[in-house]
Structure 1
Amino acid sequence: MNRMIGLAHLSALHLSPPELVDAAAAAGFTSIGIRVYPATRGETQYPMAAGSFMSARTIERLAATGLVVRDVEVLTLDGIRGRREWEPVLEAGAALGASVLNVIGGDPDRARLTDSLAALVEDARKYGVRPSIEPISYQPLDSIPAAGLLAEQTGCGIMLDALHFVRAGGRTAELKALPARAVTVIQLCDGPAETPALPVPHRMPLEQDVNGSARQIESRAKRLAPGEGVFPLREILAALPDAPVSVEVPDVWAVEAHGTAAHLKHLQTAADNLIGSPLNTEMETTP
């Protein structure tokens, strides 16, 4: 299976976007995702508006290293945010050459979420960006079938996070039922069968909020590298052979213990080993 391996910003969110470019290139990644808008309440924001000094510096580092930005994150559609919030995010993503915007379905009103997402998809066309909904196991929009329906209704893409797919009880058969090329990015990580009981980190990158929730701590602070857990990653990859891969493995403890460079190189090597290994056809896939 020949795929280019990208790096999600969450794997090293303490790095500013220009720093992330250099660190990802040094570790052997070929693309990156960049956070240009906060994901959690009270989170520190990198000044990545189109035309800003940091955006220009990031573009310089991309040109120097040959890396590309595949996606930018993250816009939560919560029933309140609208065009005033998403236009600057789309501008920031387009300036970086991104083709995907990570969208979270935080609005429990499904009809309103559908309308908001449809408007966002329409607005994003002129920027060359495809908004892609990511099912999150602790958000109102949490399942692949629901995301697939939104893709059919609005033309949005889907970002598949392996962690949330497993934690929400996803099945690989659901992936095969999605519209063709609906999945724009697979966010690759691994983990144990059940959500672990983890301590709240004494400090989170960008002061992210985890709310004391076990799932949120795991999601934002402690995932496993591909191949180190029990997630059906080879089956997911086989079900979506054309989807790009982005390694999303935050581990605040590993970074503190071993440093960012070692952490990212470990992730790249683990992903490369997983993607390069064949699917064992005798292995029973997730039903």
Structure 2
Amino acid sequence: MNRTIGLAHLSALHLSPPELVDAAAAAGFTSVGVRVHPATRGETQYPMAAGSFMSVQTIERLAVTGLVVRDVEVFTLDGNRGHKEWEPVLEASAALGASVLNVIGGDPDRARLTDSLAALVEDARRYGIRPSIEPISYQPLDSIPDAGMLVGQTGCGIMLDALHFVRAGGRIAELIALPAGAVTVIQLCDGPAETPALPIPHRMPLAQDVNGSARQIESRAKRLAPGEGVFPLREILAALPDAPVSVEAPDVRAVETGGTATHLKHLHTAAETLIG
């Protein structure tokens, strides 16, 4: 498959969505993922409601650059959120033309999580959007087999983050065993064999919270570009030959020292080399 390469917003979360589109296009990416809803408590939110000035700006930049929005993030199912909370997120996503909504399984009650996800999938169908659960190594839903069960039970998709797949002890055989078409996006990055001990950055984009957790610091502030670590990225791509690719490799320090354009071009070149 001749894969196109997208850019996840987390790779440059300090950029507003319209700025992200321009920067991604300049770096050579063909699609973007956009954050329209906060991932962490207290996080600053971009005003991306459907019809808002920033949403319209983003749509205009997409038209000029020829890029598309494949996925939007992020909605956490925590047991307390329902239709009233996710409907505006679906509307914002649809306005951008997104086909995938990134969902985090933050509810430890698996039966309730399943019911909530099924209801979200049903509501999202009207917008042409497929909610896709992302197994995250420090969330209650952290494994590919559990995500695969939810695909069968709810009709959701899976967003596969290479970092969390490795940190949760994922195996390539688990990917091969998934139903065809289950993985809607592969988020590419790289890293060392073990979670590194990293200092908390003095400034996190959008004031994201890392809670002093080594895994959260790595996830949100310091990942390696594809091909620069030991993750089995080629094996992941081979197991999922039809899944679109998005590069999710934030590096807060690299952006501060070398600039955003250099960082994003480096990520695109690294992904292109890996895939090629």
TM-score, reference length from structure 2: 1.00
The answer to whether structure 1 residue 33 and structure 2 residue 33 are counterparts is yes
Amino acid at match of 2:175: L
Within 5 Å, give how 1:167-206 maps onto structure 2.
167-206=167-206
What residue is the counterpart of 2:140 in the other structure?
A: 140
How far is 1:253 from its partner? 0.4
Deviations 1:156-183 (A, max 9, x none): 0000000000000000000000011000
What residue is the counterpart of 1:285 in the other structure?
A: none
What residue is the counterpart of 1:246 in the other structure?
A: 246
How far is 1:2 from its partner? 1.7
Within 5 Å, give how 1:43-192 maps onto structure 2.
43-192=43-192
The 2-side partners of 1:183 and 1:18 are apart by 27
The 2-side partners of 1:59 and 1:2 are apart by 26
Deviations 1:186-227 (A, max 9, x none): 000000000000000001000000000000000000000000
Amino acid at match of 1:162: A
Deviations 1:19-54 (A, max 9, x none): 000000000000000000000000000000000000
SS in structure 1 of the partner of residue 72 of structure 2: strand
The answer to whether structure 1 residue 228 and structure 2 residue 235 are counterparts is no
Deviations 1:53-83 (A, max 9, x none): 0000000000000000000000000000111
The 1-side partners of 2:218 and 2:155 are apart by 31
TM-score, reference length from structure 1: 0.96
How far is 1:262 from its partner? 0.1
SS in structure 2 of the partner of residue 127 of structure 1: coil
SS in structure 2 of the partner of residue 38 of structure 1: coil
The 2-side partners of 1:257 and 1:14 are apart by 14
How far is 1:256 from its partner? 0.5
Amino acid at match of 1:180: A
SS in structure 2 of the partner of residue 6 of structure 1: strand
The 2-side partners of 1:79 and 1:221 are apart by 27
Alignment RMSD, CA only?
0.4
SS in structure 1 of the partner of residue 126 of structure 2: helix
Amino acid at match of 2:168: A
The 2-side partners of 1:199 and 1:216 are apart by 11
Q: Give the % identical residues.
A: 89
The 1-side partners of 2:253 and 2:205 are apart by 12
SS in structure 2 of the partner of residue 81 of structure 1: coil
What residue is the counterpart of 2:262 in the other structure?
A: 262
Structure 1 residues without counterparts, runs of 5 or longer: 277-287
How far is 1:7 from its partner? 0.1
Structure 2 residues without counterparts, runs of 5 or longer: none
SS in structure 1 of the partner of residue 263 of structure 2: helix
